[in-house]
């Protein structure tokens, strides 16, 4: 038993060190593959992906992502504790901000997309501790701009479609840097379940949610911290 525990501790330590080194490398290099992307390949959806630099992503996309998924992204340290508290309380009478992932921030979603796995049930709870670690680490090592950059390049935006460039080409036949506000809102509206909430054909959810996102984009566009991350 003691030998097994030593082996388990050694494996855990190796995984911890290698994952931390990988995290630092990803400060400058886009992830070559993620578990979610592998899942799409083995699930028969294929893999449509084309990483693009920060400058090649339209400010409209960056604004839409924050307006929809995490309006406090420029200000928090990885976790929106107020939103988490509201989510746990499940009080429908309290006003809630528009956000697609409940209490999950863009930083948390990025950590999960790049370093961990999707899924609910038991796997969701097993994921919580490493998700906390990776979320804090990318906040410290990457910074906000890099987190949003990697998020928009790696998140699934359709069946087998990963990243904003592949989504822009698939849905609108143009590059990500040329997306309009309405187009950006429509793509982001497919989150968090792009296999069901389709952009083309436009699902009912994407239709009404994209309008809500446009309104929120107008509401937060003049915030100095938000504006600094959309340039």
| Tokens of residue 226, six digits | 């938000």
β 161-162/156-158 pair status: antiparallel
Range of the domain at 148: 46-228
User: How large is the average pLDDT for residues 132-138?
Assistant: 95
User: How large is the average pLDDT for residues 177-191?
Assistant: 97
Q: Flag whether 109 is in a domain.
A: yes
Number of domains in the chain: 1
- Neighbouring C-beta atoms of residue 196, cutoff 10 Å: 11
Q: What is the pLDDT of residues 77-111, one digit of tens each?
A: 998 776 555 545 554 443 444 444 446 899 999 99
Q: Flag whether 214 is in a domain.
A: yes
Residue 150, pLDDT score: 98
Closest CA to 145 of 112, 110, 97: 110
Residue 101, pLDDT score: 44
- Neighbouring C-beta atoms of residue 20, cutoff 10 Å: 14
Q: Flag whether 32 is in a domain.
A: no
DSSP state of 189: T
pTM of the model: 0.87
Alpha helical stretches, state H, the chain: 2-25, 35-42, 59-69, 81-89, 106-115, 122-141, 144-154, 164-172, 181-188, 204-220, 224-228
Q: Flag whether 160 is in a domain.
A: yes
Q: Flag whether 88 is in a domain.
A: yes
- Percent of the residues in the chain that have a pLDDT greater than 90, as a whole number: 74
CATH classification at residue 219 = 1.10.3810.10
Q: Flag whether 159 is in a domain.
A: yes
State phi, psi for 105 to the nearest 5 degrees: -80, 170
- Percent of the residues in the chain that have a pLDDT greater than 70, as a whole number: 87
For residue 2, pLDDT beyond 50: yes
Residue with the bigger pLDDT between 85 and 217: it is: 217
Q: Flag whether 4 is in a domain.
A: no
Residue carrying the six token digits 């509401």 = 219
Mean pLDDT across the chain: 88
* Rounded-to-integer distance, Cα 164 and Cα 60, Å: 11
Residue 177 buriedness (CB in 10 A; 0-12 / 13-18 / 19+): middle
């Amino acid at each position: 038993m003691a030998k097994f525990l030593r082996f388990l501790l050694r494996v855990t330590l190796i995984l911890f060190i290698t994952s931390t080194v990988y995290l630092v490398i990803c400060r400058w290099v886009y992830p070559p593959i993620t578990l979610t992307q592998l899942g799409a390949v083995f699930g028969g959806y294929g893999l449509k992906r084309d990483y693009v630099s920060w400058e090649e992503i339209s400010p409209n996309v960056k604004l839409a992502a924050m307006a929809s998924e995490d309006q406090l992204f420029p200000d928090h340290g990885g976790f929106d504790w107020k939103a988490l508290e509201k989510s746990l309380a499940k009080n429908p009478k309290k006003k809630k901000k528009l956000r697609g992932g409940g209490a999950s921030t863009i930083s948390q979603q990025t950590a999960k997309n790049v370093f961990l796995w999707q899924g609910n049930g038991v796997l969701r709870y097993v994921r919580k501790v490493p998700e906390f670690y990776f979320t804090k680490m990318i906040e410290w090592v990457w910074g906000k701009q890099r987190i949003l950059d990697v998020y928009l390049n790696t998140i699934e935006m359709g069946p087998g479609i990963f990243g904003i460039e592949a989504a822009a080409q698939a849905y609108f036949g143009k590059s990500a840097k040329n997306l309009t506000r309405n187009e950006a809102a429509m793509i982001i509206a497919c989150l968090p379940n792009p296999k069901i909430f389709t952009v083309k054909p436009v699902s009912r959810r994407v239709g009404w949610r994209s309008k809500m996102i446009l309104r929120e984009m107008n509401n937060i566009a003049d915030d100095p911290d938000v504006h600094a991350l959309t340039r």
